Amino acid sequence: MNIKRVASIALSLPLLVTTVALANTDNFDDLPPNTSGRSGGSRGCSTQTVQSLERIPALILLAPTQQSAKTVATNPTFSWFVRDSGSWQLEFRLYRYDPVTEETQLVKEIKDDSFKSSPGIMTLSVSESIPELPVGQRYLWQVELVCDPNHPSGNPFAEAELEVVALPIELKTELANTENQFKQATLYKRLGFWYDAWDLVLNTEQTPMISELKSSLLEKVALAEQEVVKVRESEISKVQR
Q: What is the pLDDT of residues 124-168, one digit of tens each?
A: 999 989 999 999 999 999 999 999 888 888 899 999 999 999 999
Residue 162: inside a domain: yes
Q: Containing domain of residue 72, as a range?
A: 6-240
Structural contact between residues 143 and 61, judged by C-beta atoms closer than 8 angstroms: yes
Position 27 in a domain: yes
Residue 142: inside a domain, yes or no? yes
Render pLDDT for 38-91 as a digit per residue (tens, 0 to 9): 886 556 786 554 444 557 899 999 998 766 689 999 999 999 999 988 899 999
> What totals of helices (H) and strands (E) does the chain contain, helices first?
5, 12
How is residue 70 annotated by DSSP?
A: E
- Rounded Cα distance between 181 and 183, Å, is 5
Exposure pattern of 53-87 as b/e (b: 16+ CB <10 Å)? beebbbbbbbbbbeeebbbbbeebbbbbbbbbbee
Is residue 240 packed enough to be buried (19+ CB in 10 Å), middle (13-18) or exposed (0-12)?
exposed
In a domain, 207, yes or no: yes
Rounded to whole angstroms, how far apart are CA atoms 236 and 77? 13
Lowest mean pLDDT among 17-26, 85-94, 209-218: 17-26
CATH number for 149: 2.60.40.1220
Residue 202 clears pLDDT 90, i.e. is over it: yes
Tell me whether residue 197 is in a domain.
yes
Whether 1 maps to a domain, the answer reads no
Would you say residue 44 lies in a domain?
yes
Positive or negative torsion for Cα 45, 50, 51, 54: negative
Q: How many domains does the chain have?
A: 1
202 or 19, greater pLDDT: 202
Question: 109 — phi, psi (to 5°)?
Answer: -135, 135
